[in-house]
Amino acid sequence: MVFETERMRLPLAASGRATRRAALFRESFLDIAERHALGFAWAMSPKRIRGVPNLLRLCFDEFLAPDYALPDPQNAVHEPPGLAGIVHDLSTPTLLAGYRRGLYPFAHVGPLKWWSPPKRSVLFFDELHIAKRLRRQMRHGKYKVTLDQAFDDVIVACAGHRQDRWHLTWITPRIMHAYAELFDAGHAHSFEVWNERGELAGGGYGVAVGSAFVTESQFSREVNTSKIGFTVLNWHLAHWDFAFNDGKLMTPTCHDMGFREISRSDYLEQLAHALRRPDKTGRWQAEADTATVADWQPG
């Protein structure tokens, strides 16, 4: 009888989760209009407009003869840098296959595309830099960091408005649902930073394949909270024998923390080695607090 009761709870839990996600993963008409307007302006900026002809050619070729096979990352075009193909399927098996091939999906507007940039921002954990100010903040114990406790809230926050920035996001409801399913399958993971009032103050999420972790997005609602959570995440990845953290494209935060750019060919070689290790699937749990991680001396 206990077995039957537990079995009955599973569809009820899944139903409740689906209902909550339907309410959370929404984009208003104004948000859609804003994303399309800003996305078009972003694509037409002087640095990116040179890639428009290749993008239009790819879309035209897809219209004439859709190619549902995953593209070869080595065949990505130079303009826009790393464009490899059109995403037809966002199912969990296809997403995992894409990441294992060195691809990731991205697009503000238009069809979702597969990307494999010529240079990849990668952290090898013995090269991680933790700033003194950040160490002091972590030792204060003002924030608590958890793993895989609020994935849905984290991905919504990553898609939300950022202070003093245009609201241009690629994390649409379609993306949210796809990565939430990847999380349910135990392959996507989140880190959450909670303040003393129990509020979500920062966080991020990414995908683990073999011993490689691909960071997708982060957010902060208070000073340095994403850096605190990211440092705790990297401590766990290092202690679980992950090979590297892939930040995809270099950002000032990644640069300051010790990420460095490597070529596509080098990345694919590193990824091939990382994929020889089994996936660490399921829900992750934090094994160290911020004060412990603050004393970490990488390398």
Which pLDDT score, from 0 to 100, does residue 10 have?
54
Which pLDDT score, from 0 to 100, does residue 7 have?
46
Q: What does the CA dihedral 126, 132, 133, 134 come to, rounded to 10 degrees?
A: 20
Nearest CA to 153 out of 63, 224, 82, 219 is that of 219
Predicted structure pTM score: 0.90
* Rounded Cα–Cα distance for residues 236 and 286 (Å): 8
**Which value, in Å, is the radius of gyration of the alpha carbons in the chain?**
20
Which pLDDT score, from 0 to 100, does residue 44 have?
79
Which pLDDT score, from 0 to 100, does residue 11 have?
64
Structure-model confidence comparison of residues 214 and 10, the more confident one: 214
Q: Is the pLDDT of residue 217 over 70?
A: yes
Q: What is the mean pLDDT of the chain?
A: 91
pLDDT digits (tens, 9 = 90+) for 151-209: 999 999 999 877 666 677 889 999 999 999 999 999 999 999 999 999 999 999 999 99
Confidence of residue 83 (pLDDT cuts 50, 70, 90): very high
Q: Is the pLDDT of residue 9 over 60?
A: no
Structure-model confidence comparison of residues 55 and 232, the more confident one: 232
Q: Is the pLDDT of residue 8 over 80?
A: no
* Rounded Cα–Cα distance for residues 155 and 219 (Å): 9
Q: Is the pLDDT of residue 297 over 70?
A: yes
Q: Which amino acid is at 197?
A: R
All domains of the chain in start order, with CATH: 28-118 (3.30.70.3550), 121-294 (3.40.630.70)
Q: Is the pLDDT of residue 90 over 60?
A: yes
Q: Which amino acid is at 177?
A: H
Q: Is the pLDDT of residue 4 over 50?
A: no
Nearest CA to 173 out of 2, 276, 23 is that of 23
- 133 burial class (0-12, 13-18, 19+ CB within 10 angstroms)? exposed
Tokens 């920062």 sit on residue: 202
Query: Strands (DSSP E) along 135-211, which ranges?
Result: 144-147, 188-194, 200-209
Count of residues making up the chain:
299
* Rounded Cα–Cα distance for residues 107 and 235 (Å): 31
